[in-house]
Amino acid sequence: MRVQLKGLMKIPLIALSLSVFSQACHAEDADYAAEGERRAKVAGESLLGAPAPNIKIKDIDGGTIDLAQIYGEKPVYLKFWATWCGPCREQMQGFEEIYKKYGDKIQVVAINTGISDSLESVTAFRKKVGLTMPITIDNGELARAFQLRVTPQHVLIDKKGQFAYFGHKDDLALHQALDNVVAEKPAGKPLNNPDLALKDDGYQKGDTAQDISFSTIDEQSFNVRFNTSNSKKVAVVFFAPWCEWYLEETEPRTSKACTQVRELLESKSKSTDVQWVTVSSNLWTSAADLKDYRKSYAATPPIVFDDDGELFKQFGVNQIPTITVIEPNGVISLKSSIQDEDFEAALHTLSSFK
């Protein structure tokens, strides 16, 4: 993902005619759309035909959508998106048209990922674009339940309460899938869809972490043991390899924070008193992307790919970057993300490590 875009950006624009540059941009967009579709299909492959989880979704206007009450009666269309996501912005007007077209025939929910977004940014975007469908802001729970891997990501659940479609593009296949689930006869009740286990908040400041074992992108073990004579302070940084360059224009504050954290890690990574490890989001990311990232940025700290999202869940993380510091006795002494007021203080704390 990053290599292709950066390769294009490195070409001096003066050397490209406007037509050639336009063609290159369209080709780049087509490549990303195809790759996004592939990743969405792979993410949902194991779920197709399986019963979707029962879950209550609270929207930003105070309403509650109980999917358990909808399954069996009408289909559900969930669309994951973010205000900073280029393809999401392009699709949102069409998304509103879909919502108006099908009306009460399908339950539509716009799920903002919550990553580098807030109630303020989401409501401002809603007003600007003119969205009228229910909107919720995720804390990571829905992303894990519905296998979020790209933005935008479409998830269709049919009238039997089963996963019927995963995709990324707003294309003929999506619209055909919508027509198909709407045309089905209601399955009726009762259904035996599983309840989604309630999510705790993961590790918070003051909690005691259990011993943990990581596997890096090079398949090397990175084991952390607390309360031993050899235990060290551990700094875990949660990030995404696209954060710096992709968000540079659409979400510059987060982009800058990702750069600050990466540069700080590089300056401190040779410390003998602290164990450093970086954990990558699975959104728009693969192990190959992380290896490209490491090469491009000459990153030296160990990199762990959280392919299934379990580490983000265990540590209660849904923002990038997020910094967590664990003391030798296992106590979480610091946890801060770009969304927290103490983030600059957290960076200062890390810079003081020897």
Domains of the chain: 36-183 (3.40.30.10), 212-351 (3.40.30.10)
320 contacts 116 by C-beta, under 8 angstroms? yes
212: three-class secondary structure by DSSP = strand
With cut-offs at 50, 70 and 90, classify the pLDDT of residue 353: confident
Q: Does residue 10 carry a pLDDT above 90?
A: no
| Arithmetic mean of pLDDT, 97-108 | 97
**How does pLDDT run across 265-319, given as a tens digit for each residue?**
999 877 778 999 999 999 999 999 999 999 999 999 999 999 999 999 999 999 9
**How does pLDDT run across 142-161, given as a tens digit for each residue?**
999 999 999 999 999 999 99
pLDDT at 11: 37
101 phi/psi in degrees, rounded to 5: -65, -45
| Cα-based distances in Å from 29 to 5, 24, 80, 286, 294 | 10, 9, 19, 19, 24
| Cα-based distances in Å from 293 to 95, 149, 286 | 33, 18, 11
209 contacts 216 by C-beta, under 8 angstroms? no
Cis peptide before 190 (omega within 30 of 0): yes
Instruction: Please tell me the distance from the alpha carbon of residue 237 to that of residue 263, in angstroms, as a whole number.
Output: 12
Listed range (20-29, 129-138, 203-212) with the worst mean pLDDT: 20-29
With cut-offs at 50, 70 and 90, classify the pLDDT of residue 17: very low
pLDDT at 27: 55
| Arithmetic mean of pLDDT, 108-125 | 97
| Arithmetic mean of pLDDT, 205-213 | 93
